[in-house]
Amino acid sequence: MTPIWEVFVRAKGGLSHRHVGSVHAADAKMAVSAARDVYTRRMEGVSLWVVPSAAITASDPGEAGPLFEPAADKVYRHPTFYKVPDAVKHI
Amino acid sequence: MYTVELSKESLVDEAAGAEDALRAAFEARVAADEFIEPKDWMPEAYRKTLIRQISQHAHSEIVGMLPEGNWLTRAPSLRRKAILLAKIQDECGHGLYLYAAAETLGVSREEMTEALHAGRAKYSTIFNYPTLTWADMGAIGWLVDGAAILNQVPLQRTSYGPYARAMVRICKEESFHQRQGFESMMQLAHGTKAQRKMAQDALNRWWWPALMMFGPPDDNSPNSAQSMRWRIKRDTNDELRQKFVDVTVPQAEVLGLTIPDPDLKWNSERGSYDYGEIDWEEFYAVVRGEGPVAKDRLKARVDAWEGQAWVREAALAHAAKANMKAAA
Q: Which of residues 83-112 of B touch A (CB under 8 A)?
A: 86, 89-90, 93, 96-97, 100-101, 103, 108-110
Residues comprising chain A, all counted: 91
Spell out which residues of chain A touch residue B109, defining contact as CB-CB under 8 Å. Answer: 2, 4, 24
- Is the separation of the CB atoms in B218 and B238 below 8 Å? yes
A4 close contact with B: CB closer than 8 A: yes
* Torsion sign (Cα): A46, A47, A53, A56: negative
User: What is the full per-residue pLDDT of chain B (328 aa) written as tens digits?
Assistant: 333 343 444 455 667 788 899 999 999 999 999 999 999 999 999 999 999 999 999 999 999 999 999 999 999 999 999 999 999 999 999 999 999 999 999 999 999 999 999 999 999 999 999 999 999 999 999 999 999 999 999 999 999 999 999 999 999 999 899 999 999 999 999 999 999 999 999 999 999 999 999 999 988 887 788 888 898 888 899 999 999 999 999 999 999 999 999 999 999 999 999 999 999 999 999 888 888 899 999 999 999 999 999 999 999 999 999 999 998 8
Asked if A32 and A45 touch (Cβ cutoff 8 Å), the reply is: no
One-letter amino acid at B319 equals: A
CA gap B325, B328 in Å, rounded: 5
Window A:6-25, CB contacts with B under 8 Å: 21-25
Shortest alpha-carbon distance between residue B232 and chain A (Å): 20
Beta strands at B265-267 and A4-10: parallel, antiparallel or unpaired: unpaired
Backbone angles phi, psi at B151, to 5 degrees: -70, -35
A86 touches chain B (CB under 8 A): no
Phi, psi of B39 (to 5 degrees): -90, 0
Residue B292: per-residue pLDDT: 86
Residues from chain A that touch B318, judged by Cβ atoms under 8 A, are 26-27
Start-to-end CA span in chain A (Å):
58
Cβ under 8 Å to A: B residues 308-327: 312, 315-316, 318-319, 322
CB proximity list for B164: less than 8 A, separation 6 or greater? B35, B155, B156, B157, B158
In chain A, count of helices (H) and strands (E)? 2, 3
A50 bridge partner residues: A7
For the stretch A61-88, pLDDT in tens is: 889 899 999 998 999 999 999 999 999 9
A–B CB contacts, 8 A cutoff, strictly below: 46
* Residue type present at position B41: W
Distance from CA of A20 to the nearest CA of B (A): 9
- Cα(B220)–Cα(A36) distance, integer angstroms: 43
Q: Round to whole Å and give the CA distance between B216 and A37.
A: 36
For residues B261 and B275, the answer to whether their CB atoms sit within 8 Å is yes
CA A17 – CA B169 distance, rounded (Å)? 17
Distance CA A39, CA B100 (A): 12
Q: Do B139 and B324 meet the contact criterion of CB atoms below 8 Å apart? A: no
Grouping H, G, I as helix, E, B as strand and the rest as coil, residue B261 is: coil
Burial of B237 (0-12, 13-18, 19+ CB in 10 A): buried
> Which residue blocks in B124-192 are alpha helix, DSSP H?
135-139, 145-152, 161-189
- Chain A residue numbers touching B322 (CB-CB < 8 A): 27
Residue B233: its pLDDT value, please?
86
pLDDT for B7: 44
User: Nearest-CA distance from B319 to chain A in Å?
Assistant: 6
Residue of A nearest to B97 (CA): A21
The reported pLDDT for the residue numbered B4 is 36
Identify the pLDDT of residue B11: 54
Residues β-bridged to residue A18: A9
User: Residues 153-182, chain B: which have Cβ within 8 Å of A?
Assistant: 165-166, 173
Bridge partners, A23 (sequence order) = A5
Contact B93 A41 (CB under 8 A): yes
Contact check, Cβ <8 Å, B100/A2: no
The CA distance from B156 to the nearest CA of chain A, in Å, is 15
Chain B from 36 to 55: CB within 8 A of any A CB = 37, 39-41
| Antiparallel, parallel or unpaired: β A18-24 and A47-52 | unpaired
DSSP structural state of residue B144: I
Q: Which residue of B has its CA nearest to A41?
A: B90
Amino acid at A80: T
Window 41-60 of A, Cβ < 8 Å to B: 41-42, 58, 60
Distance CA B203, CA B252 (A): 9
Tell me which chain B residues have a C-beta less than 8 angstroms from the C-beta of A38. 93, 96-97
Query: pLDDT tens digits, residue range B196-242?
Result: 999 999 999 999 999 999 999 988 887 788 888 898 888 899 999 99
The beta-carbon neighbor of A26 closest among B86, B96, B316 is B316
Q: What is the torsional sign of CA B236, B129, B114, B112?
A: negative
Distant-in-sequence, close-in-space partners of A14: CB < 8 Å, separation ≥ 6: none
Query: How far is Cα B268 from Cα B149, in angstroms, rounded to an integer?
Result: 26
The full set of domain ranges for chain A reads 1-55
Quote the DSSP letter at residue B214. T
CATH superfamily of A1-55: Phenylacetic acid degradation B (3.10.20.520)
Residue-level pLDDT at B12: 57
**Residues in chain A closer than 8 A to B93 (CB atoms):** 37-38, 41
Give the model's pLDDT for residue B166.
95
